[in-house]
Structure 1
């Protein structure tokens, strides 16, 4: 579920554009995919590790005697006082990220909800109370949900961004292959001017849902 939640979903991400731009030169598939991977950074695919570190800071405060909500308030205030959005919060389009909602629901159902998930939910409440400092809602996003759940599963924060990378690899391969086999070499790629001509919407049989 974690990997599915971050799957490639269009041609606009910088990593997708990087893979396609290299593919249009006729470069081998592996080089195109490598270009896409190299496009990941702090503003694209880098929030999971940052959020895991953010949560570790809160857990350190809890171990020193603070309550869950006190620790959450402290780490949120540290960001807000610098006019920074905490890593793992907010989304360009969603007022409430449905992927995060579903991941938290699954963590609860599977009894995987641990101290990191509880802390990030407390941090979300703390951020809600300070929403006037920002011009939009800042719910936990899919990166934040993945960070908290992965940390509760025992993943080290250094592996956080690798989870996102693994999830995006199939999409990068598909985009690069399509560019190499269907498009004109050396074309100028417009991320907004495109039409989908693939398979129509398909319904899974009831037994496979």
Structure 2
């Protein structure tokens, strides 16, 4: 190995995990160059998360927007697969960290990925010329898939989280904290989807938070990352509640209900 790579030095080893996120030394913990003791008691968790991920500080208005997105996505009850998995796992004799990990691992493209995909959609609309290009972009997306991420909801005719989140974005636009391009793009997509329909197809929580993440300049993968961070709070709450139920090996259905047997239609 040394013939191929040369003799490793202490510097080679130290540079192996080189990072600008956190510096650790005896008696020292710094996040992005800021001593942790200067953050504790002076910086809220959302602003600290922004600092750690982005390396700079949000304005108060930007921090409020990010916090609102995280609050809006925390939980949607046991009908959400991630929450159901957390509760089932908690009855299987594993630790709460294992229950949370089991639940987080269900947050994929279909359950948990719509926010990331919607940021990509909105970015495409903005890149194509903004709101006037929405119909064209929607048509192109529909050629690839009948599903448009971030719009419509299987339970809510109008997602109760849409209006307050978008109102906060509009307020942030007026204050100059965000530009508003992605908000305009999302509203234009809503209008395009409503054409020819007896009922509109409003944004859901994934669409509304995608507007926020896009307006704040987060790349699409970070929209999913922040959704996972937010939903982990609900996962924790449900796993903890279920762990106190006294039930063991709780399955997806009550024992009195058996799954149908036979070929799937």
TM-score, length-normalised on structure 2? 0.64
Alignment map for 1:139-150 (pairs within 5 Å): 139-150=202-213
Structure 2: distance between partners of 1:138 and 1:91: 8
- Cα distance per residue 1:120-156 (max 9 Å; x no partner): 1111111111437xxx641111111111121111111
Residue in structure 2 matching 1:129, options 163, 174, 195: 195
Distance 2:180 2:235 in 1: 33
**Which residue of structure 2 lines up, in the alignment, with residue 3 of structure 1?**
70
- Whether the 8 Å CA contact 2:193–2:200 is kept in 1: the answer is no
3-state DSSP of counterpart to 1:161:
helix
Task: Report deviation, 1:68.
Answer: 2.7
| Cα distance change of structure 1 residues 6 and 107 upon mapping to structure 2, 3 Å threshold | same
Match of 1:201 in 2: none
What is the DSSP-based 3-state SS (H/G/I as helix, E as strand, rest coil) of the residue aligned with 2:232?
Answer: helix
Structure 1 residue 55 displacement after superposition: 1.4
Counterpart contact for 2:87–2:238, Cα < 8 Å: yes
SS at match of 2:202: coil
Structure index of larger Rg: 2
Q: 1:68 aligns with which of 112, 116, 131?
A: 131
Query: What is the Cα-based RMSD across aligned positions, in Å?
Result: 2.1
1:78: how far off? 1.5
In structure 1, list runs of 5 or more residues that go unmatched.
194-209
Contact 2:115 2:224 in 1 (8 A): yes
Match of 1:183 among 246, 253, 261: 246
Written as runs of structure 1 = structure 2, the 5 A alignment for 1:31-180 is 31-62=98-129, 68-69=131-132, 71-81=133-143, 84-111=146-173, 112=178, 114-131=180-197, 137-180=200-243
Alpha-carbon separation, structure 1, partners of 2:96 and 2:134: 45
Flag the structure with more relative contact order, 1 or 2, with Cα contacts below 8 A and sequence separation at least 6.
Answer: 1
CA separation of 1:57/1:180 partners in 2, compared to 1, >3 Å: closer, same or farther? same
Question: Secondary structure at the residue paired with 1:8?
Answer: coil
Q: Does 1:28 align with 2:90?
A: no
Using the TM superposition, name which of 122-131 and 181-190 deviates more. 181-190
